[in-house]
């Protein structure tokens, strides 16, 4: 049988955030890690769609709000999904997902 490729089928780069809130918030120390398939020697970071000055490290602690993506030097891995880091006073459901009536959630609020 024939199976079409999905548009994201070749995307193997992940952008991990610690702590795992979405959107990430700067009132926690936010660390982003770019994880590609296999070992990688260099990582290119993008902030708000522009190439950004952090290169060579796969992890860093964010100090500015914005939308971050990354790309490893491994061929064919592509750009990671984006990660928004906010400086707002926000309330977040944890884990971040669609909520249904009756779900138990933990709310985080800056005050």
Q: What is the DSSP string of 71-108?
A: EESSTT--PPPPEEEE-S--EEEES-S---TT---EEE
Domains observed in the chain: 14-86 (2.60.40.10)
C-alpha distances (whole Å) from 105 to each of 25, 63, 94, 108, 109 are 18, 28, 6, 10, 13
Q: What is the pLDDT of residue 22?
A: 75
Indicate whether 72 pLDDT > 60: yes
Residues 4-32: tens digit of each pLDDT = 443 444 558 899 999 887 778 888 899 99
Residues 89-107: tens digit of each pLDDT = 766 655 656 778 888 877 7
pLDDT cut 90: percent of the chain above it: 29
Overall average pLDDT of the 31-57 stretch: 81
Q: What is the pLDDT of residue 82?
A: 93
Cis peptide bond prior to 31, omega within 30° of 0: no
């Amino acid at each position: 049988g024939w199976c079409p490729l999905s548009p994201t089928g070749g995307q193997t780069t992940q952008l991990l955030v610690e702590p795992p809130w979405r959107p990430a918030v700067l009132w926690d120390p936010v660390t982003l890690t770019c994880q590609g398939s296999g070992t990688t020697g260099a990582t290119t970071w993008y902030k708000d769609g522009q190439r950004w000055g952090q290169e060579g490290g796969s992890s860093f602690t964010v100090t500015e709000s914005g939308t971050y993506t990354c790309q490893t030097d491994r061929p064919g891995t592509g750009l990671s999904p984006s990660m928004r880091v906010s400086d707002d006073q926000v309330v977040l459901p944890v884990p971040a997902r669609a909520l249904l009536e009756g779900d138990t959630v933990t709310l985080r609020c800056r005050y």
